[in-house]
Amino acid sequence: MLKEVLLVSPRGPCAGVNRAITIIEKTLEKYGIPIHVNHDLVHNTFVVRDLQKRGVIFTKDIDSIPENSVYLFSAHGVSPQFREKAEQRNLHIIDATCPLVTKVHKEAEKYAHEEAIIFFIGHKGHPEAEGTTGVTQMYLIESKEDVRRLNPENFDDGKPMYILTQTTLSIDDTAEIISSLKEKFSNIKTPPGKDICYATTNRQSAIKELAKQCDTIIVVGSKHSSNSNRLVETARSNGVKAFLVDDFSDVSEGILDSSEILGISSGASVPDILVENLIGEIQKKYPNVKTRSLDVLKENVEFGLPNI
Kindly report, residue by residue over 76-106, the tens digit of the pLDDT: 999 999 999 999 999 999 999 999 999 999 9
Domain pair 4-13+197-295 / 15-98, same fold: no
pLDDT at site 287: 94
Q: Among the options 107, 114, 115, 128, which is catalytic?
A: 128
DSSP 8-class letter at 285: H
Max Cα–Cα distance, the chain, nearest Å:
67
Phi-psi region of 77 (alpha: psi -120 to 50; beta: other; left: phi over 0): left
pLDDT at site 49: 95
Query: Can you name the CATH fold of 4-13+197-295?
Result: Cobalt-precorrin-4 Transmethylase; domain 1 (3.40.1010)
Tell me whether residue 128 is one of the annotated catalytic residues. Answer: yes
The edge-to-edge listing of strands for the beta sheet with 70-73 is: 56-58, 35-37, 70-73, 92-95
pLDDT at site 274: 96
By residue count, the chain amounts to 308
pLDDT at site 278: 96
The residues with which 15 forms a beta bridge, in sequence order, are none
Residue type, 100: L
Domain ranges in the chain are 4-13+197-295, 15-98, 100-189
pLDDT at site 3: 93
Residue 161's Cβ-side half-sphere holds a number of Cα atoms within 13 Å equal to 15
Q: Are 89 and 67 in contact (CB under 8 A)?
A: yes
Nearest to 118 by CA among 191, 11, 37, 31: 191
What does the pLDDT look like over 148-192, one tens digit per residue?
Answer: 999 999 987 789 999 999 999 999 999 999 999 999 998 999 877
Cis ω on the peptide bond leading into residue 10 (within 30° of 0)? yes
Regions of the chain short of the pLDDT cut 70: none
Report how far residue 94's alpha carbon sits from residue 306's, in angstroms, rounded to the nearest whole number. 8
Report how far residue 205's alpha carbon sits from residue 296's, in angstroms, rounded to the nearest whole number. 8
HEC letters along 98-146: CHHHHHHHHHHHHHHHCCCEEEEECCCCCHHHHHHHCCCCCEEECCHHH
pTM of the model: 0.92
Architecture of domain 100-189 in this structure: 3-Layer(aba) Sandwich (3.40)
Nearest to 220 by CA among 280, 153, 301: 280
Nearest to 187 by CA among 207, 159, 223: 159
Specify the CATH number of the domain 15-98. Answer: 3.40.50.11270
HEC letters along 62-102: HHHCCCCCEEEECCCCCCHHHHHHHHHCCCEEEECCCHHHH
